[in-house]
Structure 1
C-alpha cells in the first residue's frame, strides 16, 4: 500500500488536477486511497476536486529517492524545469554561502520562492534546512505565483511539504565514494513520531548529519575535460582546449619585463627559460611549465551539515488545532582552498613590481639587471602560501527558526489558518591567506642591510622597530613563516539574517452558482527581513585585504492583503468549465505599494482531458543584499576583445543600491493534461510558458560587461578601469534595474503505473522534459539569447533541452530503479568567436536497488554508470556531471 500510495503522489502533477491532486491506486486512477485529498500549492483555494490553472509538478517519495542525492537542491537540479545551481555534489562556487538554492527557468535563484509547508523561512534560498526523512513531497509551481504567495515567485514556487503525520521510529546510515576514490560522503538520520492524548496530539522529531569530503586534485588527467579553458589564437578567435595555463604567471614566478623577460625562477632562486607549451599568446599557453587558477578549484567543496527539526500539534476541537515547529541547521567546513592568488604581469602593467636591488635576488641575477630599468615586473601564482596553498575559505552557518500557528474549521465549511515565525541565520565567513595589501607591499620590497648584510624590509632601514619581515617570492617554498604571517592574514565577517513573518487566511465556499460552489480565499501577510554585519576584522574595515567581503546592514517590512476566487461556470455531462482570479496588494517600506494579480481558467472534458491557461502579473522586490551590500571583491579571468581576446585577470567591486525598484513580470501559461480512462495509470501533460520580466535587478557578468562594452554599450564601458597601456585593472558594478528578460519554453511529462499480475508488484514509468525556445537578455543596447549557451562564464546560460526518464520496479521485498538523465548541448558562448564553439550534450545512466528484509531496507546506487566525461568546457561543474561514476549505499530501519 505504501509504495503504491507514493507512486500515486508522483503522478499527481501529471494528472494536473491543479491544487488538489489525488493519490492514484494501481487499479483505479480516478479514485483516491482512503479518500484523502492531497492539497498542492498552485492556488490558495483548497476545495476538493478543484483544478487550479497553474501547473504544478509533484516530487514524491520515489523521485526524492532516485540517485540518493545528499540534499533537496540536488534533487531539484535534475528536474528539467530547473537550471542547475550545483553539481551532483556541492561545487566550490556555491558552497561559499553554505546553501543550495533552486533556479526555475534559468532566471536566477532569487526569482524562485521557496517555502516550507506554505510559509517563508529565514535564508529561504537554502533548501538544506529540513531533514530529508521528514519531507513528504515537494510541490513545484512552474508558473508565476506572486498573487498567491507574494514577492519572489516570478519563475515559480518550491514548497517543501513535511510528513506531519509521521508515526514510529526510523533510522538510517549511508556512505558514498566516486570510482576514483575521492568524494567520500557519509551520514545518518533518525526520525520519530507518535500520537498522544487519544490521538488528539502529535509529536515528531528528526535529525540528519552529512559529511562530504569534497573532491580535489582532478587536474591529474583522470577527467581531462575538467581542465579546459579558452585559448586565444593569433587571429583573435578562440579555441577551447585542455590544459590552458598562464604564460604571464607561474608558481615560482616569471619575469615579464626587462632583459630577463621570459625567465622563470626555480625553487633555489635560479633562473631558467620558462618551458613553453605547444601554443602561446601574450598571456597564456597550452601546456608548458605553468598552471592556471582552474587547476586548483575543487570539483566539489567539502561540507558538513547537521539538521534537527521538531513539530508538535494538538487538536482541541475541529475549530482549533495548535501547532508548533522548531528547527536548527548547522552547515560548516573546516576550510579549503578557494583559489590561488594569481598576480599576472605584462611588460607594462599588472603583477608584482620588484627593485633590481632586491635582497633575495642572487648576485648573478642582480648583475644581469644592473644595466636595465630600476624595476622589473614578475607574474606569480601564490599557491604555496599557508596551510591551504592559496586563498582559502571557511564558513559556519547556524540557522534557528520557530513557528507557531492555529488552524481549524468554522461553521458553514469555512477554514482558517494563522501563523507567526521567527528565524535567525548567523553566518561566519573567513578567508585565509589574503594579502594584507600594505604589509605585503612592504614585505616584497626587501633589501640587504649594509650595516649587517642581513635581508630586511626596505622600511626597516629607516624604522628599525617595524614588524615587517621580508618576503621571498623568487621560487616556490622560499617564503618564511614569519614573512607569511606578516604579509598575509585572515578576513572575518559575521552576519545575521532575521525574518519575522505572520499571516492569516480564511477559505470557504460562500455560495453556489448553477455550476457548483464558488470558492474564495482571503488573507493578510506581514513580514520583516533584516540583515546586519555583527563583526568585520579591522583590516577588512578599511578594505585592506586583497579580497573584500562587504559590510551589509539593512532591513525592510512589507504589509500585504490578498484574495482569490474560483467560479464554476459550466457543469454538464462530460464538460466542466471554471475561471479563477487572484490579486495581492503589497506595501514595501522601501519602494511603496504595488499590485500583483492573475486570471485563468480550466476546461475538463469527459474527466480525461484537462485544458488550462493562466495569465499573471508578478513581482520581485529587491532583497536586502541587493539594496544594502557594501563593496565586495570578486576575482577571475576574462577575454578582452579590445586586446585581441587576450586572457586577463581582473578585480571586480560590486555593491548594493537602495534606490532599486521591484521587478515586474507578465507570465502566460497554456497547457493541459490527459489521463485516459481506457488506460488507467497513464498521465500525459504539456504546458507552454511565456515570461517577460521588466526592470530586472542584477549586475551583469564580468565577461558580458566587457563584451557589451565592445559592442557599443557606453554605460558598461564606464564600469571598466584600464591602466595607461589599456589593460583592464578593475571592474565595477552595483545592483541596478538593468533592463528585461524574456523566456519561452515547453514542459512535457508522461507517467504510467503498471500493476503486475502478482498484485504485489508494479512498474512505474515517468519522463519529464523541458524545451527552452528563448532566454533573451535585453541590456538596453543589445538583445541576445542565452538559450543554448552553456559556457560557465555566461549569465543565465541554459541548455535548450533537458530531460529525465525513470523506470521503477517494486514488490514486497525488492525494488530497482533505472534512470536516464539528458542535458543538451549548444554553444559555449554565442557572443564570442570560438573555433570549436559547439558543446555536445550528455546522457547519464543511474541505477539503484533495494532489498527489504522485515524492518530493514538495504539500498545501493550508482550514478553516471558509464562514467561519461563532461564536454570540453569549465561549465561542466554547473550543467554537466563533473564527479563521474559515483557509488553510494546504506541501510534504513523502520519500526
Structure 2
C-alpha cells in the first residue's frame, strides 16, 4: 500500500537518505512522526515499512515542480545532473521531419531508449512512433505528486528498457478541493511566450477519492533571427577556411547558402571545358558571377531556436473501495498537443531532378533538329556546350524556391491512455497485497507540410519548347494534357503562379502507436526469520506494442525533392514473469543494526527476439543508526524497438561531417591518401585542383539513409552501484542534514546502435575497417554543381555493436533548519562522470563520450530556499562543466581528445511567491536570470543544433525569461 499523504512520503524519503530533494525548499518545522505504513518504492514490487532503496534513488516533489514554474516536466528534470541531453526537446527538434516539440529524458547519456518512464509504476504509451520514448507533454505537471529517479538497471522489476534506470511519475491522490493556476510570461526579447491555465479538482473520503484536471499551456516560438548569435548563416572558421584550431569557435560570417532565390547557373564553355562557370543575377536582373558571400541566401532568417507547443490536457484518477479489503482504481489521460516547425524555403538543384548526371538539357530534339528551350536566357545559351555528347547543350543549377514559400510542418499529436484494475489485501499465512490491471494507450499524429515540389512535374516543366505562336509550352504532350506549365527559374520571383501550382507538392505524415498492457502481482511476507520477516513478490505481465508511420506517396518515393521516407510498420509482444525477495540476514548486532539482501529475477518471451532474463541482487547494511551502506549488481535487458527492427531506408541530411580526403594531393603519403586517390571522383578533383577540395555547398548537401535490422537481438546491461547514506540525527547541529554518495558503473554488451557516420568515414579510409566503405558514395564527376569526388551519401544501419558504458559518482547533500525568523533549506546534487564510451562495432576501439559536449564530466544542481511567514524565495543554480568537441572530429584535424573545449555554464533560476490570502498565492519567476549565453558551437562543429549555433538540447539558447502567476485554492 502507498503512503496516505505527501508529507509522510517526503519525511520517510528524507530519513532514508534517498532523495535528491531531501526536504525541499518548502520544508517546514519537524512534526511528530505518524505511524509508519507499508509503502512501495521505485525499484521494488515489495511493499515495506520504510521508503529506502538499495539503488540510488532521487526524488522531486510537487512543490519542486511548483517552484520551477515549468509547463513541462522535462524542463525541471533536465536540471538533475544524472540526466543527459534529451533526444527530443523544444530546442532541438525544429529540423526533424517528425517529432517537433516532443519532450523526452535520457538517464546517464545512455540513450532515451534505455530510460524507462512509468506512471504509478506502470508503462506509458510512447509519443514517438516506432520507439519506446514517452512524450512528457502527455503528463500534466499539476497532477504529479512526486517523481522518483532510479539510476541503475531495473529490468528485473519493470522489464525491458530500464538499462540506465527508471523515471517513475507518481500522481496525486487524496486531494481535496479546487485549485486554479494561471500563468503568463515571455523572454526578455519578447518571444518564447508562456501561458498556462489549469483547474484541478479532487474529493476524497474513507471510501476512496476522485480527481480531475483540465489545463491549457503554451510555449511560444523563438526565431533564430532574433538572437545575435544565430541571426546570420555562419560556419566555424576552422572548418571552412583555416583549419587552425584557434579558429574552431570563431564564426565565419556570413557563410550564406549557395542556393539563392534568383538561382545560380553553372555551365562549361567551349574555351574552358574543364572549368565550370557559375553566374547569377543582381537585383536589376543583370547576369553577374556568383559569389556566396554576396549573392547567397541567409537561411537563419527563417530558422527556429525553439518550436511552439500548445497543449490541451484532460486527466482523471480515482479509487473506490469495494469492501474492507478490495478496491478498484482508474487512471485516464487525454492530451492534444499542437506543434510545428518552420524553416527556410526549399533548396533545389538540378541533381535532385536529373539524378543521372545532374544536367538540365537546354533544348529538345524535334525531328532530328535541336529546338532551344525559349525560357533559357540567351546569355546562358550562348555559353553552353554539350556535356554528355547527345548534341544538346546542358547546364546545372541551384535555386532557393522562395516562391513556393517556407517549409513548415504542422503537427497535431493526440495521446490517450486508460488504465484500470483492482487491488487489495488478503490473508495467506500473513497479510498479503495484490494488484491486477489492464491498460491501453494510443498516440496518433497527423502532420501537414508545405514548401516542397513534385520532382517529376518539375522535370516536365523545365523541358519546354515554343508552340506555333512562339509561346513556351511543356515539351511532353502527355504532361501538357495533365496541366503542365513551363517553369522559369532564372532570376528573382520568376516562377509564375500557374507553374507554381503545377509543381507544388504539400506533404503529409500519419502515425499511430498503440500499447496494450495487462498484468498482476502479489507481495507479502512468508514467514519470520531471526532478523525479520521474509518478503516476497511475484507477478506476470503481457504487453503488445504496435506502430505505423505512413508518409504521403511522393515522400515515400523521394519525389518531392526532400527526404525519401518509406512507411514503417511493425509490432511485437512479450510475456513476462518475475519474482522478488527481500531477505533479512542480521539485526541488532554490533556494527550491524540491520543487514538485508534484496534479489529479483524476470523472464521474458518476446515475439521478436525470443527469451530474455534479467536479475538483480543487492544489500542494505545499516551499520549504525546514522550510517547505511547499500549496493546492487544487476543484469538488465533491452529488446529492440520497432524502428530498430523494421525501419525501411529513410533519407537523412547529417551535419558535422568532415571528409578525411580533404586536402589530399597527388603526392601526399599514407594509407588515407592512397585510399582516397583510389576513388575516381577524388582523383579527378585532385587533377583539376592540385588537391582534393570541396565547397561549403558540397558539405551542406551530404545525404544518407538510415535503416533498421530485423536480425537484431536484445542487448544486455550490467550495472553496479555502491553507496553510502549518512543521516546524523544524533548530532544536534546536523539532525536536519542528509548526505549520500553512490558509485555507478553500467556496461552494455551488444548495444543496439546505428553505425556513426564519422566513424564509417574514418575507418574506411584509414583501412582499419574497409567494410565501412559500403556505406559511402561519392560523386564520380562534377554533377549539378557538386564537386567531383564530393561525398554524396553516407548511410548507416542498426546493429548490435560492441557496447556502451559509463561510470562515475553521485553526491547529494541537503540541510534545512530555522535561520533567523524563517526556514532555510538547501540541497546539492553533483554527478561526476569518470568514463563513458561507445564501441561502434565488435572489436573496434572505444569511442569516448564522457567530457564531450552534451555529456559533461561535471554537473551539479544547487537549490536554496527561504520561507518566512507568507513569503517564499527559491533559487536554483545549474552547473554544466567544461566540455570538448567530439574526439573523432578532432582526430580528423590531428588533434588530441579534449584539446578544443567550451567553458562551463551556470544557469540561475529564481522564484518568489507570496501567500496573499489564505487561499491565494502570487508568484513571479526568472529563468536564466543573468542571461547567460550558450557557448558558440557553430555550424560545422559536432553538437551544433541547426538554427541555434550551439547545442540547443544541452545549453539554453533562448536567454532570460520571466513569468508571473496566481494560484487559488478553494
Aligned: 1:210 with 2:227: no
1:272-421 equivalence runs, <5 A: 272-275=288-291, 277=293, 288-291=294-297, 296-333=302-339, 335-338=340-343, 340-343=345-348, 353-356=359-362, 359-369=374-384, 374-382=393-401, 384-387=402-405, 389=406, 391-411=407-427, 412-421=430-439
> Whole-Å Cα distance in 1 between the matches of residues 153 and 143 of structure 2?
27
Secondary structure in structure 2 of the residue aligned to 1:410: strand
Shifted more, 637-646 versus 521-530: the winner is: 637-646
Using structure 2 for the length normalisation, give the TM-score. 0.83
Aligned: 1:604 with 2:612: no
CA spacing shift, 1:339–1:754, aligned 2, 3 Å: farther
Task: Spell out, residue by residue over 1:722-765, the C-alpha distance to the aligned partner (whole angstroms, 9 max, x if none).
Answer: 2213222223233222221111121111111123454xx32111
> Whole-Å Cα distance in 2 between the matches of residues 524 and 697 of structure 1?
26
CA spacing shift, 1:88–1:289, aligned 2, 3 Å: same
What displacement does 1:789 show? Answer: 1.7
Aligned: 1:245 with 2:264: no
Secondary structure in structure 2 of the residue aligned to 1:110: helix
CA spacing shift, 1:800–1:23, aligned 2, 3 Å: closer
What displacement does 1:597 show? Answer: 0.3
Shifted more, 707-716 versus 851-860: the winner is: 707-716
Q: Which residue of 2 aligns with 1:773?
A: 834
What displacement does 1:393 show? Answer: 1.2
Gaps of 5+ in 2: 127-132, 270-275, 363-371, 664-692, 781-787, 938-943, 945-949
Shifted more, 139-148 versus 445-454: the winner is: 445-454
Q: Which residue of 2 aligns with 1:436?
A: 454
1:134-173 equivalence runs, <5 A: 134-173=143-182
Secondary structure in structure 2 of the residue aligned to 1:63: helix
Shifted more, 143-152 versus 264-273: the winner is: 264-273
CA contact (8 A) 1:846 1:861 kept: yes
What displacement does 1:395 show? Answer: 1.4
> Whole-Å Cα distance in 2 between the matches of residues 89 and 891 of structure 1?
27
Secondary structure in structure 1 of the residue aligned to 2:415: strand
Paired residue for 1:626, among 644, 649, 657? 644
What displacement does 1:778 show? Answer: 0.8
Aligned: 1:92 with 2:110: no
Using structure 1 for the length normalisation, give the TM-score. 0.90
Secondary structure in structure 1 of the residue aligned to 2:703: strand
> Whole-Å Cα distance in 2 between the matches of residues 449 and 582 of structure 1?
80
CA spacing shift, 1:255–1:540, aligned 2, 3 Å: closer
Aligned: 1:114 with 2:117: yes
Q: Which residue of 2 aligns with 1:715?
A: 771
CA spacing shift, 1:21–1:446, aligned 2, 3 Å: closer
Q: Which residue of 2 aligns with 1:639?
A: 658
Paired residue for 1:663, among 708, 715, 720? 715
CA contact (8 A) 1:227 1:295 kept: no
CA spacing shift, 1:386–1:888, aligned 2, 3 Å: farther
CA spacing shift, 1:885–1:23, aligned 2, 3 Å: closer
CA contact (8 A) 2:268 2:383 kept: no
Q: Which residue of 1 aligns with 2:63?
A: 62
CA contact (8 A) 2:385 2:394 kept: no
> Whole-Å Cα distance in 2 between the matches of residues 627 and 371 of structure 1?
47
Secondary structure in structure 1 of the residue aligned to 2:68: helix
CA contact (8 A) 2:89 2:101 kept: no
What displacement does 1:579 show? Answer: 1.1
> Whole-Å Cα distance in 2 between the matches of residues 446 and 88 of structure 1?
43
> Whole-Å Cα distance in 1 between the matches of residues 860 and 22 of structure 2?
25
Q: Which residue of 2 aligns with 1:452?
A: 469
CA spacing shift, 1:550–1:15, aligned 2, 3 Å: farther
Paired residue for 1:254, among 264, 272, 276? 264
Q: Which residue of 2 aligns with 1:793?
A: none
Task: Spell out, residue by residue over 1:95-118, the C-alpha distance to the aligned partner (whole angstroms, 9 max, x if none).
Answer: 725421110011110000000000
Structure having the higher strand fraction is 1
Matched pairs, number: 862
> Whole-Å Cα distance in 2 between the matches of residues 324 and 584 of structure 1?
27
> Whole-Å Cα distance in 2 between the matches of residues 762 and 40 of structure 1?
29
Task: Spell out, residue by residue over 1:237-295, the C-alpha distance to the aligned partner (whole angstroms, 9 max, x if none).
Answer: 66343235256433432334535734333355432234465xxxxxxxxxx54346566
Q: Which residue of 2 aligns with 1:699?
A: 754
> Whole-Å Cα distance in 2 between the matches of residues 463 and 250 of structure 1?
28
Aligned: 1:688 with 2:726: no
Secondary structure in structure 2 of the residue aligned to 1:815: strand
Aligned: 1:890 with 2:965: yes
CA contact (8 A) 2:743 2:809 kept: yes
CA contact (8 A) 2:94 2:100 kept: no
> Whole-Å Cα distance in 2 between the matches of residues 463 and 109 of structure 1?
48
Secondary structure in structure 1 of the residue aligned to 2:175: coil
What displacement does 1:308 show? Answer: 0.6
1:398-797 equivalence runs, <5 A: 398-411=414-427, 412-443=430-461, 445-459=462-476, 464-533=480-549, 536-545=551-560, 546-572=562-588, 575-637=593-655, 638-644=657-663, 646=694, 647-677=699-729, 678=731, 679-711=734-766, 712-724=768-780, 725-756=788-819, 758=821, 761-780=822-841, 781-790=844-853, 797=854
What displacement does 1:87 show? Answer: 5.7
> Whole-Å Cα distance in 1 between the matches of residues 607 and 30 of structure 2?
52
CA contact (8 A) 1:22 1:37 kept: no
Q: Which residue of 1 aligns with 2:369?
A: none
Aligned: 1:133 with 2:128: no
> Whole-Å Cα distance in 2 between the matches of residues 606 and 738 of structure 1?
45
What displacement does 1:785 show? Answer: 0.3
Q: Which residue of 1 aligns with 2:667?
A: none
CA contact (8 A) 1:431 1:492 kept: yes
What displacement does 1:488 show? Answer: 3.0
> Whole-Å Cα distance in 2 between the matches of residues 115 and 266 of structure 1?
59
> Whole-Å Cα distance in 2 between the matches of residues 247 and 97 of structure 1?
24
What displacement does 1:494 show? Answer: 1.6
Secondary structure in structure 2 of the residue aligned to 1:47: coil
> Whole-Å Cα distance in 1 between the matches of residues 762 and 101 of structure 2?
31
CA contact (8 A) 2:508 2:552 kept: yes
CA spacing shift, 1:20–1:232, aligned 2, 3 Å: closer
Shifted more, 57-66 versus 813-822: the winner is: 57-66
What displacement does 1:441 show? Answer: 2.5
> Whole-Å Cα distance in 1 between the matches of residues 755 and 964 of structure 2?
42
Task: Spell out, residue by residue over 1:85-139, the C-alpha distance to the aligned partner (whole angstroms, 9 max, x if none).
Answer: 2567674257725421110011110000000000012115212222111100100
CA spacing shift, 1:173–1:701, aligned 2, 3 Å: farther
> Whole-Å Cα distance in 1 between the matches of residues 20 and 411 of structure 2?
41
> Whole-Å Cα distance in 1 between the matches of residues 865 and 303 of structure 2?
37
CA contact (8 A) 1:167 1:194 kept: yes
Q: Which residue of 1 aligns with 2:679?
A: none
Task: Spell out, residue by residue over 1:127-183, the C-alpha distance to the aligned partner (whole angstroms, 9 max, x if none).
Answer: 222211110010000111000110000000000000021110011111121111111
> Whole-Å Cα distance in 1 between the matches of residues 17 and 325 of structure 2?
28
Larger Rg: 2
Q: Which residue of 2 aligns with 1:282?
A: none
CA contact (8 A) 2:71 2:196 kept: no
CA spacing shift, 1:639–1:19, aligned 2, 3 Å: closer
Aligned: 1:840 with 2:857: no
CA spacing shift, 1:266–1:101, aligned 2, 3 Å: same
> Whole-Å Cα distance in 2 between the matches of residues 12 and 360 of structure 1?
79
Q: Which residue of 1 aligns with 2:365?
A: none
What displacement does 1:541 show? Answer: 4.7
> Whole-Å Cα distance in 1 between the matches of residues 634 and 72 of structure 2?
31
> Whole-Å Cα distance in 1 between the matches of residues 10 and 902 of structure 2?
33
CA contact (8 A) 2:743 2:807 kept: yes
> Whole-Å Cα distance in 1 between the matches of residues 194 and 761 of structure 2?
40
Aligned: 1:819 with 2:876: yes
Q: Which residue of 2 aligns with 1:801?
A: 858
Q: Which residue of 1 aligns with 2:183?
A: 174
